[in-house]
Structure 1
Amino acid sequence: MEDMRALSYGLGQQYFEERDYRGAIKALLPIVEETPDDVGTRLLLARAYFHSALLKPAEAHLVEILDRAPTESYAHLLMARTLERLSRADEATMHRRIAAALTGDESLLASQSL
């Protein structure tokens, strides 16, 4: 079972790197369902949703990540970008501030592309 999970993750990562975000989602979703506490896999899945413009599922997975790992700075930044694309700039500002505080990088306070 562990081998299948590793194979699916590798496939999902390959799809993501090739910018086949829908393929990445298809490969990663079963892993996240099987191991919901795996923050790294869930973050890659959230990124794939974000890049596929599937913003509501991206947001839902980012909420799960931040519940499990509130100091995951990239998840805060991706949440900010997701909320900005959903026209929720006020909520996004909080996540940008947290990401900047966690990394010490004040440039994260400005809206930018990922």
Structure 2
Amino acid sequence: MDLLAEYRRATLFFEAGDPTGAARLLEPILAAEPGNAAVRQLLARAYYSSAQLNRAEKHLRELVDRDPSDHYAHHVLGRTLERLNRHVDALRHLRIAAAMHHSNDDYQAALRRVATRVKR
């Protein structure tokens, strides 16, 4: 199997709006290359986009554990936890992402949204 070709194909599926198809292609690639952060991130995003939130959380936590400075992984993990209605848990990761990349409007908006929900 040409892993790079399959990864590119999975990216096309994801970009075309088929996250489930992308995940099907990415799962065997990640099994072959478990340390590949790019594959794991795209798989997590595919799971997030297809509402497989527990699966997304698992892979995002792996990314954050391996690289705590990955602001994007913290952001998507926070958004995943938000969708799981775990706002207190989400707030921690959204704060980290926003602190590391403070000029990102999406990060700031997600942080404000979840912070407001936690304060209620």
Q: Does TM, normalized by the shorter one, top 0.5?
A: yes
Total equivalences in the alignment? 110
* Separation of aligned partners in 2, 1:13 and 1:110: 30
Q: Residue 35 of structure 2 aligns with which residue?
A: 37
* Separation of aligned partners in 1, 2:63 and 2:88: 20
Question: Given the alignment, which residue of 96, 101, 104 partners 1:103?
Answer: 101
Structure 1 length as normaliser, TM-score? 0.90
Q: Give the secondary structure class of the aligned counterpart of 2:34.
A: coil
1:107 aligned partner, one-letter code: Q
Q: Give the secondary structure class of the aligned counterpart of 1:62.
A: helix
Alignment of 1:14-33 (within 5 A): 14-33=12-31
* Separation of aligned partners in 1, 2:10 and 2:97: 26
Deviation for aligned residue 1:104 = 2.1
Structure 1's unaligned 5+ residue stretches are none
Structure 2's unaligned 5+ residue stretches are 115-120
Deviation for aligned residue 1:107 = 1.8
Structure 2 length as normaliser, TM-score? 0.86
